[in-house]
Amino acid sequence: MQKTGQKMRNKSAFLFLAFFLFTLPPALAGESQTTVRQPMNFAQSKEVPEKEAASIEVKEASRRGVWISVFSAKSVLYSKEGVSKLIAQCKKAKINEIYLQFLQSGNAYYDSKICNRSKYEQMVKAAGMDTLDLLLREAQENNIKVFAWVNVLSLGINEKAEILSKFGNSILTRDQHGRPSKTDSKLELDKYYLKEDQIFLEPGDPRVEEYVLNIVNEIINRYPLISGIHLDYARYPSPVPFIPGSRFIKFGLTYGYGPKNVERFKEKTGLNVLETLNNEDEYLAWDNWKRQQITELVRKISSLVKVKSADLLVSCAVIPLTERAYSNAFQDWSFWLEEGIIDYAVLMAYTKDNQFAKEVVKSALGHRGKGKIYMGMGLFLMKNNPDLFFNQYKIITELNPDGIVFFSIDDLNDKIIGYLN
């Protein structure tokens, strides 16, 4: 009877996981440096033809922004002319917020004394000046806010990042098998998962917290004209398909097993997560601990920024589906808004499926709490189909989010600007 019961529990767990796998939306949100595969459009809304679309009045979002990646082909910060063209393009598209990448893969694209600044020095050499200062001045003159976009826990594929050189691999998060998120080690189960091929730091390691806080502090003090800090990768790795919590650890991958994090959890609870946890309460305690590590890091970043100036805003690019963000990436952004830890969340719902975009916005607006909800649109999926863009933009704005941010500047072509203008 006991063996039968165990088989039934295993079967139930498998069916539960299968449900999550097959109900996964066709366009998974991922951060801007992650390749997003083209979704299949089984439920795409009917498109309005271009000529007809031009005559339809569209409700405007109160704030309109654009992400500018360090990988931008436009290289806007490598010349004075590039800065001027960026400002002109934003004004033409009625964009009033710029999310400019300052830190990516542990490399500083700003005047840093903490991180590798070779990329920043290349920009200064090409332009003959610090174009960040120029951009901030010109943006202020044109009533455009600029936010410093910081990749918090991802080092990309940079195995020579300063923090790795200083502390070694001990500051990296690991899966339940003891492997970093980017690894050459292959298990049989790996062929069933799509993993993020990036190096992730362990948020439960105090050395990582100090590193991140020092970077944010450096930015807000060096560049007083920025309007705030925009956080990215404030989460654990989130492989696909994902398991809804550590109690399903036999059926997938989960992270948070960095040495220092495991050690601190054991000191706090007496539980060793590297051995089998015995019951659902213990699994929940472990999951809550991992969520707390992310939340406390974001809280400390926000407090640091607000001490500098209460007018500075703190936002975060987030996984749009709250269940996945909460139970798999341990990114409890709904709680952050509820508690006022961040001022607003930007949902990375990059999709060609208009119905999915609609459902994401409708669901997210119930999580405003003390903050605001912005919708991130994946222009890279629609740059060759402006009618699709127009329809999705219309659907989103009719639901009244607090803002819309486009990814990215490279895909903001003349036809899309025409719609926005």
Q: 352 — phi, psi (to 5°)?
A: -100, -5
Residues 6+ apart with CB under 8 A from 301: 152, 212, 213, 216, 229, 231, 314
Residue 414 clears pLDDT 70, i.e. is over it: yes
Q: What is the mean pLDDT of residues 378-400?
A: 96
At 57 the pLDDT is 55
At 363 the pLDDT is 96
Could you tell me if 278 and 261 are in contact, meaning their C-beta atoms sit under 8 angstroms apart?
no
Could you tell me if 32 and 371 are in contact, meaning their C-beta atoms sit under 8 angstroms apart?
no
pLDDT-based confidence at 190, cuts 50/70/90? confident
At 42 the pLDDT is 30
Residue 265 clears pLDDT 80, i.e. is over it: yes
pLDDT-based confidence at 421, cuts 50/70/90? confident
Q: What is the mean pLDDT of residues 329-346?
A: 98
Could you report the per-residue pLDDT of 139-149, keeping only the tens digit for each?
999 999 999 99
At 21 the pLDDT is 40
Could you report the per-residue pLDDT of 279-291, keeping only the tens digit for each?
999 999 999 999 9
At 58 the pLDDT is 55
Q: What percent of the chain has pLDDT over 90?
A: 79
Could you tell me if 99 and 230 are in contact, meaning their C-beta atoms sit under 8 angstroms apart?
yes
Residue 302 clears pLDDT 70, i.e. is over it: yes
Amino acid residing at 15: L
At 40 the pLDDT is 33
User: Among 78-92, 112-126, 188-202, 373-387, whose mean pLDDT is lowest?
Assistant: 188-202
User: Among 29-33, 173-177, 248-252, 343-347, whose mean pLDDT is lowest?
Assistant: 29-33
At 28 the pLDDT is 38
pLDDT-based confidence at 380, cuts 50/70/90? very high
User: If you average pLDDT over every residue of the chain, what do you get?
Assistant: 88
Residue 37 clears pLDDT 50, i.e. is over it: no
Domains of the chain: 2-32+51-420 (3.20.20.80)
Residue 8 clears pLDDT 90, i.e. is over it: no
Burial of 344 (0-12, 13-18, 19+ CB in 10 A): buried
Q: E-strand spans in 160-279?
A: 228-232
pLDDT-based confidence at 13, cuts 50/70/90? very low
Q: How is residue 287 annotated by DSSP? A: H
Could you report the per-residue pLDDT of 59-94, keeping only the tens digit for each?
666 799 999 999 999 999 999 999 999 999 999 999
Cα of first residue to Cα of last residue in the chain, in angstroms, is: 69
Residue 39 clears pLDDT 80, i.e. is over it: no
How far is it, in rounded angstroms, from Cα 377 to Cα 383?
A: 11
Q: What is the mean pLDDT of residues 405-417?
A: 96
Q: What percent of the chain has pLDDT over 70?
A: 86
